[in-house]
Every structure is written in structure tokens, then in C-alpha cells.
């Protein structure tokens, strides 16, 4: 059994091991979470984790748009 896998039913971290913060947004360029979200992830319940995950597609899209 792999001890790095989350327990059954747990919401896995979106971390992709590209850990660098974007100074303009405050989001990690890998997973798009804030430092506060990353730090709190281990203590968050599944609903709180899902709430963070729901925000990530919009953050990715915002970073994909060219700057004006």
C-alpha cells in the first residue's frame, strides 16, 4: 500500500510539484492555490478542499489570458 495516497473518499491535493509563487497573483504557478490554501490543506475537510478546487479553473484561465 502506498502511504502517499489519500484515504478513500479524501480529496487529493492539486499539487504538481511546481512550487513557485506568482508575485502578481499570489498563486502557485503549479497548482494555482494561495500560500494560505496550501498551508491549510492538510487540516481542511473535504468540502473546504472542494471549494478551493472549484476556484482553480478560473485562476488557470486568468493566468492564460494575455496581460493588457
Per residue in 13-51, pLDDT tens? 999 999 999 999 999 999 999 999 999 999 999 999 999
Q: How much is the pLDDT for 1? A: 46
C-beta of residue 37 within 8 angstroms of C-beta of residue 30:
no
Q: How much is the pLDDT for 65? A: 75
C-beta of residue 32 within 8 angstroms of C-beta of residue 19:
no
| Confidence band for 53, pLDDT divided at 50, 70 and 90 | very high
Full-model pTM:
0.80
| Confidence band for 6, pLDDT divided at 50, 70 and 90 | low
> Does the CA dihedral 68-61-37-13 come out positive or negative?
negative
The C-alpha angle with vertex 55 and arms to 33 and 41, in degrees rounded to 5, equals 40
Amino acid at each position: 500500500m502506498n502511504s502517499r495516497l489519500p484515504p478513500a473518499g479524501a480529496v487529493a491535493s492539486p499539487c504538481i510539484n511546481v512550487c513557485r509563487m506568482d508575485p502578481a497573483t499570489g498563486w502557485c504557478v503549479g497548482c494555482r492555490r494561495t500560500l494560505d490554501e496550501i498551508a491549510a490543506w492538510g487540516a481542511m475537510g473535504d468540502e473546504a478542499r472542494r471549494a478551493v478546487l472549484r476556484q482553480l479553473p478560473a485562476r488557470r484561465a486568468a493566468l492564460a489570458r494575455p496581460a493588457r
